[in-house]
Structure 1
Amino acid sequence: MRRNAIALLAATAITTLAIGGTANAAATQLHEGQQVVGQDVQPGTYRTDGPRDQDYGSCFITWLPYKGAKSSELIDIQSYTGASFVKLNAGDVVDVSGCNWVAE
């Protein structure tokens, strides 16, 4: 019985690796576009040094009511023009435009 369990675990591990691994761990850096906190990115405080050259002087984080929502359905929007911090909670749905945001 134990040998069968070990064989099953080994086969599951090989299959999992072959199809791309288990669910990816939530990232610690925000990316451009929409993401769900706690699923796509980790909850917590994120920092930025401010807008990059291609950000035209500011960047934005838009809070949305659900994944797939349009910007016109926003709950809140914040503009950032310099070094900044933002706290994101599990379940938040955000749309990020500009800046490099890294978890603290």
Structure 2
Amino acid sequence: MRHNIITTLATATLAATCTVLATVGTAHADPATRLHEGMQVVGQDVAPGTYSTPGPRAEDYGYCFITWLPYKGAKDSEATDMQSYSGASYVRLNAGDVITVEGCVWTLE
């Protein structure tokens, strides 16, 4: 009798664990609120909105850049716009923008 109770409890625990794992699935992260170096898609990788920076850091050699690209994977030579920043600045990013960031620390307002 005791063996049957232990087996029943173990089976119930295993079933509950499997249900929780199936419900959780793959985690989906919200878009970041800070721009990172390199290419990112606004609305997917980073949240749309107005970002600010206090300006370039010492390692940015006095400037930082944001380049707008026509699509993800585009080369810098295909850029549709490029802005350089040398002091405290703001930039508005819209969902769907594809950008490449070089330098500065940008945070969502």
On whether the aligned pair clears a TM of 0.5, the verdict is yes
Gaps in structure 2 of 5+ consecutive residues: 1-15
Length-normalised TM-score, structure 1:
0.84
Output the CA distance in 2 between the equivalents of 1:85 and 1:68.
Answer: 25
Aligned sequence identity (%): 62
Structure 1 gap segments, 5+ residues each? 1-6
Matched, 1:26 2:31: yes
Q: Quick check: which one's strand share is greater?
A: 1
Q: How many residues align?
A: 94
Considering fraction of residues, name the structure with more helix.
2
TM-score (norm 2): 0.80
CA deviation digits over 1:37-78, x for unaligned, max 9? 000000000000000000000000000000010000000000
Matches of 1:27 and 1:59, distance apart in 2? 20
Equivalent position of 2:73 in the other structure = 68
RMSD across aligned positions (CA): 1.7
**Bigger-Rg structure (1/2):** 2
Q: Which runs of 4+ in 1 moved over 3 A?
A: none
